[in-house]
Amino acid sequence: MSKKIILDENDLPKQWYNIQADLPKPLPPVIHPGTKQPITPDDLAPLFPMSLIMQEVSQERWIDIPEPVRDVYKIWRPSPLVRADRWEKALDTPAKIYYKWEGQSPPGSHKPNTAVAQAFFNKEAGVKRITTETGAGQWGSALSFACNILDIECKVYMVRVSYDQKPYRRLMMQTWGAQCLPSPSTETEAGRRILEENPDTPGSLGIAISEAVEEAAKREDTKYALGSVLNHVMLHQTVLGLEAKKQMEIAGDYPDIVIGCAGGGSNFAGLMLPFARDKIVDGKNIDIIGVEPTACPTMTRGLYRYDFGDTACTTPLLKMFTLGHAFIPAPIHAGGLRYHGMAPIICHLLDLGIIKAQAYHQNPCFDACISFARAEGHILAPETAHAVKATMDAALECKKTGESKVILFNASGHGHFDMASFQKYFDKDLEDYEYPDEELKKALESLPEIESA
């Protein structure tokens, strides 16, 4: 039995898979917050190149991966599929556990799969600069890496508190030649307004989004990029699931359970969408599970409603499971999982009963993450730890029932820049947060009134 299934460069997928072609019911439209009508491609044109907007609404099943994008992917792709046999032994489970290892990309996660594609389509459209926001810095560093390779300027608004507390991601961005500045900044009207009111503000992702969007909307040579949630991001991430499917075939197995952690939903979608197709089209019997923190329980406790993508209420309205754009997440260490909404594609599949969701507290996720590290070696990100915990539970359930199910999970990234959170865990200083019902009710009261499509 081989430990790793490694594909040849020539086996790198030539096309991304678009689930929109196979949905039993089409996605609800995206709504313009002013007119309350479905938005048109032209509404989005100030922010994104038309090629990406067309991917957003495309009903084509397969979309070509441009050769220059495949060329950059080859720096780290195809990524390995690994049999976690040592961890199986440690857990004493009859289950077979596989993980798709996305932590060996230069920025250390799955995020460059879309960053490289977005940088390429912007470059092709003649765009000179891309702006974006970043919280803990994973997305900012992925986009910086991609823009550097494809020779586009990159400007990252990083939430002030992370900018000060997490200098290493910022230094990665600088190493790849990007400009990273703390948000709020004096570069935009939104930033200046907030600084005037509150000069010592720690900033927030909502403010950083407003700054990045404002600059892109104002400048002819500049567009904006988003690292998760949107359909074209889910599309680009399918490169990893398509590889995984081929690798499972080579291993001679097919998953009974597919698991991923979900913040905006992109790494989970990337892995599971090609398998969701098998479930929809071929009637395959697979459990597909998205895992989120109990402190930010979007899919497990949110409402399926139209909401803004940002806290500043500037984006189009997306139909999604949401905790309300006014939701203020507890300071858990899985920074990438603290988003109030979820990708519309994920929410639609959840609503249709094709996928499921589970929530866990952060301490048991760290327990599982450390169990995995001691058996398999890799120290995974606190976000990824949520997928590890769900995998461990499924494997321990198999131990009880004696079933040898095949479990596949996405190892979305390494945790090398998150060791301060491991310190807190070892010091027993990590808190588990349950979002109180009254707070949730309050945040949900701020949802915009839209006739549900």
Ligand X SMILES: *Cc1c(COP(=O)(O)O)cnc(C)c1O
Contacts (CB under 6 A) with ligand X, residues 392-451: 412-413
Q: According to the binding rule CB under 6 A, does residue 261 interact with ligand X?
A: yes
Q: According to the binding rule CB under 6 A, does residue 265 interact with ligand X?
A: yes
CB 254 within 8 A of CB 282: no
Q: According to the binding rule CB under 6 A, does residue 263 interact with ligand X?
A: yes
Q: According to the binding rule CB under 6 A, does residue 336 interact with ligand X?
A: yes
Q: According to the binding rule CB under 6 A, does residue 384 interact with ligand X?
A: yes
Give exposure, 25-44, as e/b (b: 16+ Cβ within 10 Å): eebbbbbeeeeeeebeeebb
Q: According to the binding rule CB under 6 A, does residue 228 interact with ligand X?
A: yes
Least Å from the CB of residue 265 to ligand X: 5
Nearer to ligand X, 78 or 336 (CB): 336
Nearer to ligand X, 31 or 296 (CB): 296
Nearer to ligand X, 145 or 214 (CB): 145
CB 440 within 8 A of CB 429: no
Least Å from the CB of residue 384 to ligand X: 5
Q: According to the binding rule CB under 6 A, does residue 341 interact with ligand X?
A: no
By C-alpha distance, which of 138, 143, 135, 141 is closest to 117?
143
- Binding residue for ligand X, selected from 49, 184, 203, 264, defined by CB under 6 A: 264
Contacts (CB under 6 A) with ligand X, residues 93-122: 109, 111
Identity at 345, one-letter amino acid code = I
Q: According to the binding rule CB under 6 A, does residue 232 interact with ligand X?
A: no
Task: Assign residue 171 a region (left: φ > 0; alpha: ψ between -120 and 50; beta: otherwise).
Answer: alpha
Least Å from the CB of residue 342 to ligand X: 8
Strand partners, 156: 132, 180
Q: According to the binding rule CB under 6 A, does residue 266 interact with ligand X?
A: yes
Q: According to the binding rule CB under 6 A, does residue 185 interact with ligand X?
A: no
Least Å from the CB of residue 42 to ligand X: 27
Strand partners, 292: 359
Q: According to the binding rule CB under 6 A, does residue 138 interact with ligand X?
A: yes
Report the C-alpha gap between 98 and 82 in whole angstroms.
Answer: 6
Q: According to the binding rule CB under 6 A, does residue 241 interact with ligand X?
A: no
Question: Counting Cβ atoms within 10 Å, is residue 67 exposed (0-12), middle (13-18) or buried (19+)?
Answer: exposed
Give the residue closest to ligand X by C-beta: 413
String of DSSP letters for 259-320: EEE-SSSHHHHHHHHHHHHHHHHH----EEEEEEETTS-HHHHSEEEEEESSTTS-SPEEEE
- Binding residue for ligand X, selected from 20, 79, 222, 267, defined by CB under 6 A: 267
**Strand, coil or helix: 165:** helix
Least Å from the CB of residue 296 to ligand X: 11
Report the C-alpha gap between 80 and 91 in whole angstroms.
Answer: 22
List residues binding ligand X (CB under 6 A): 109, 111, 138, 228, 261-268, 336-337, 381, 383-384, 412-413
